[in-house]
A and B are shown apart, each in its own frame.
Chain A
Amino acid sequence: MKQQIELPSGELTYEVVGEGHPVLFLHPAGGVRWSPFHEGLARSFKVYVPIMPGFDGTPFHESVRSMEALAGVVGEFVDRAIGGNCDVIGHSFGGWLAAWLAVLRPDRVEHLVLEAPAGFRPKGSPGLPREAQALRAALFVHPEKAPPSADPARMLANHQALPHYGGGARDTDDALVARLREIAAPTLILRGTADPLIPDESVQLLRMHLRHAYLIYIWDASHAIEIDQPERMLGVVESFLKRSDAFIVNWETAAVG
């Protein structure tokens, strides 16, 4: 159920699902796309999903005109709605935002998960597809798994909010890259092996600059990893959030081979 909270810069709409340690999920530029990944996450965590101002018909906060400023809004949301530390997952645009949040509010971010994060693409990378079919082709290897909320018209409408934050055509956020070393939280970087929007170079750059990071490639997934491979993504994210560095150990029992 959608709720509203009043923040210094304006009102923010959000949803909360599940019970457990708080996890903040920051949505991609297309808006929130509920998927089996979120349902699975909510079985173990209390998942907070704010809708960024200007997306899905919500009003912009007029004073908030950059990704850094938007991360400040998210920090206020964490302080007031969650009221303590949390793990943070951000997808694409949300990953870019999550990285800024981890820079600005290291006191609040315990673990950081960057799913196909934008903001680190090579200079001159093309913008997001502007046509429905091309957008679906870029987001999904398995479009048959896409939920109704992945309606291309809705996603394309949400993309119109990007210029407000200076992110419409941005490839590399140099200011953020320069501050990546400040992020202390253990960070999990995810890239789908078939992602045409975020190349290997982007996640490799992140892996190189972050002090405490893991990079995992998800086979047979495109940009929307949580929709193409929800079980795989849930398995690795849940393991990372629960076990931290020890998530690299195989804790399962299985027959050899």
Chain B
Amino acid sequence: MKFVFFHLMPYTGVENTDAGWPVPNGPFDPRQAAELYRVYVDTLAYADECDFDWIGCNEHHFSPYGMMSNPNIIAGALAFRTKRAKIAVIGNLVPLNNPIRIAEEYAMIDCMTGGRLVAGLMRGIPHEYIAYNIPPSESWERQREAVALIKKAWTEPQPFGWEGKHYRFRAVSIWPRPFQQPHPPLVVSATTIDSARFAAEIGATMGMVLLADYPSAQQIINVYRETAREHGWEPTADNILIGMHCCIAETDDEALEQLRSAQNYFQNVLMTPQRNAQRIVLQQTRYHRDEQNREHWESRLRKRAVQSLEEQIEAGVVLCGSPETVVKQIKRANAELGNGIFNLTMKVGNLPDAAVRRGMELFRDRVKPHVRDAVASPATL
């Protein structure tokens, strides 16, 4: 079983956030940000020493939720500070960006890390479309076309051009090309039926975060597996990535106390503006193709927003407790979902960074040894 140390790089210390979008940046303190970046990059690099298999980061805009408007910069900062773990950028928000730029920057990271890039090609959550003025209703069209173009830019042996609906390039020949051939492994978010199908169609690993319960997650995983079979391949456990908040402390009570406070900041400060912005986007656009996909996506977040920490633990959708408790929780989730990869967000909200590091050490010493081989994981990644 593989584990990702995933970081959102949240901006901490905000008392409350206005409900509007985007979040006003008046209270932003650059000196604090400088210190946060230093601590966060140190922490991500430390994950390499704590036996995490991947180190993960991703892209968000216009709020304290995450300070990585371009996660490739963080990946670059990690390239020479890490030696073993894969660098998982999960991911760039494909429809928002220039696909050729994504292909180029990912190829750079892959070469700089000697082939350790895991390339996330995400459609992006709805409100992110406001940031770069991209119509959410075009999200699927842009995602499909851009992903095809990125793969072409990585693999085409000679200069080529592309004449598409959303993208047009007459002469492309990226330097460098990716280190991994034909291209780095792909991860695509799969929180709706449509996105699960898309991940399977292009042979990508599926990723699902902020689960509300197992049955809805199992439904998506089944769609992914069935679609992959229709396209002639059989996913392994390593093709299923499940993301969860994770807090490991010496005792269950200590972990509960830490995560409760941190989730309070996460849900009530960091998530509030996003929820409101997403509501506007989803009401006014066709970000989701149909009502079924929309309901699947929204009900998950709705349910998650009102779940108490105890209810999340009971549902098995967070990992929280002593190392021994977390081992049991990981095995339970794995037995239910059949995933080979856990994406662990250990810096939840404003959880103190010292507590995060302690949790990482407990993971290394008292969790990973008991779950490393819990599932046979053919090396597809």
Complexed CA–CA distance, A250 and B161 (Å): 12
Which of B201-233 touch A at CB < 8 Å? none
Contact at A236–B158, with CB atoms within 8 Å?
A: no
Contact at B148–A216, with CB atoms within 8 Å?
A: no
Residue in A215, A218, A229 whose Cβ sees the most chain B Cβ within 10 Å: A215
Contact at B148–A219, with CB atoms within 8 Å?
A: yes
Contact with B along A152-181 (1 / 0, CB 8 A): 000000000000000000000000000000
Contact at A248–B161, with CB atoms within 8 Å?
A: yes
Which of A207-224 touch B at CB < 8 Å? 207-208, 214-220
Chain B residues within an 8 Å CB radius of A217: 152, 160-163
B145 within 8 A of A: yes
Complexed CA–CA distance, A215 and B161 (Å): 6
Contact at A248–B170, with CB atoms within 8 Å?
A: yes
From B170, which residue of chain A is reached at the shortest CB distance?
A248
From A257, which residue of chain B is reached at the shortest CB distance?
B133
Contact at B170–A235, with CB atoms within 8 Å?
A: no
From B155, which residue of chain A is reached at the shortest CB distance?
A200
A232 within 8 A of B: yes
Which of B142-181 touch A at CB < 8 Å? 145, 148-149, 152, 156-165, 167, 170-171
Which of B106-165 touch A at CB < 8 Å? 132-134, 145, 148-149, 152, 156-165
9 contacts between A and B (CB under 8 A): A207-B160, A215-B161, A216-B170, A217-B152, A218-B164, A219-B149, A232-B163, A248-B161, A250-B170
Complexed CA–CA distance, A80 and B184 (Å): 55
A4 within 8 A of B: no
Chain A residues within an 8 Å CB radius of B163: 216-219, 229, 232-233, 235-236
Asked, given contacts A232-B163, A257-B132, whether A219 binds B145 with beta carbons under 8 Å apart, the answer is: yes
Residue in A193, A217, A218 whose Cβ sees the most chain B Cβ within 10 Å: A217
A58 within 8 A of B: no
CB < 8 Å: which of B132, B149, B159, B170 contacts A247? Answer: B170
Least CB distance from B142 to A in Å reads 11
Contact at B170–A219, with CB atoms within 8 Å?
A: no
A204 within 8 A of B: yes
From A219, which residue of chain B is reached at the shortest CB distance?
B164
Complexed CA–CA distance, A247 and B168 (Å): 12
From B167, which residue of chain A is reached at the shortest CB distance?
A219
Contact at A204–B158, with CB atoms within 8 Å?
A: yes
Contact with B along A181-213 (1 / 0, CB 8 A): 000000000000100000010001001100000
Complexed CA–CA distance, A200 and B350 (Å): 50
Complexed CA–CA distance, A200 and B148 (Å): 13
Least CB distance from A201 to B in Å reads 10
- Main secondary structure on chain A at its contact with chain B? mixed
Contact at B164–A220, with CB atoms within 8 Å?
A: yes
Least CB distance from B130 to A in Å reads 13
Which B residues are within 8 Å of any A CB, using their own CB? 132-134, 145, 148-149, 152, 156-165, 167, 170-171
Complexed CA–CA distance, A233 and B164 (Å): 10
From A206, which residue of chain B is reached at the shortest CB distance?
B158
Asked, given contacts A208-B158, A219-B162, A220-B164, whether A214 binds B148 with beta carbons under 8 Å apart, the answer is: no
From A246, which residue of chain B is reached at the shortest CB distance?
B170
Least CB distance from B134 to A in Å reads 8
Contact at A248–B171, with CB atoms within 8 Å?
A: yes
Asked, given contacts A220-B165, A236-B163, whether A214 binds B158 with beta carbons under 8 Å apart, the answer is: no
From B162, which residue of chain A is reached at the shortest CB distance?
A217
Chain B residues within an 8 Å CB radius of A200: 156
Contact at A207–B158, with CB atoms within 8 Å?
A: yes
Given contacts A219-B164, A229-B163, 20 further A-B contacts (CB under 8 A): A207-B159, A208-B157, A214-B159, A215-B161, A216-B161, A216-B163, A217-B152, A217-B163, A218-B163, A219-B148, A219-B162, A219-B165, A219-B167, A220-B165, A232-B163, A232-B164, A247-B170, A249-B170, A250-B170, A257-B133
From A215, which residue of chain B is reached at the shortest CB distance?
B160
Chain A residues within an 8 Å CB radius of B156: 200, 204
Contact at A215–B133, with CB atoms within 8 Å?
A: no
Chain A residues within an 8 Å CB radius of B171: 214, 248
Chain B residues within an 8 Å CB radius of A232: 163-164
Complexed CA–CA distance, A33 and B99 (Å): 35
Residue in B152, B163, B171 whose Cβ sees the most chain A Cβ within 10 Å: B163
Complexed CA–CA distance, A248 and B165 (Å): 17
Chain A residues within an 8 Å CB radius of B165: 219-220
Complexed CA–CA distance, A173 and B165 (Å): 34
Least CB distance from B251 to A in Å reads 52
From B164, which residue of chain A is reached at the shortest CB distance?
A219
Chain B residues within an 8 Å CB radius of A215: 158-161
Complexed CA–CA distance, A74 and B154 (Å): 40
Contact with B along A220-245 (1 / 0, CB 8 A): 10000000010011011000000000
Chain B residues within an 8 Å CB radius of A218: 163-164
Complexed CA–CA distance, A224 and B353 (Å): 59
Least CB distance from A150 to B in Å reads 22
From A249, which residue of chain B is reached at the shortest CB distance?
B170
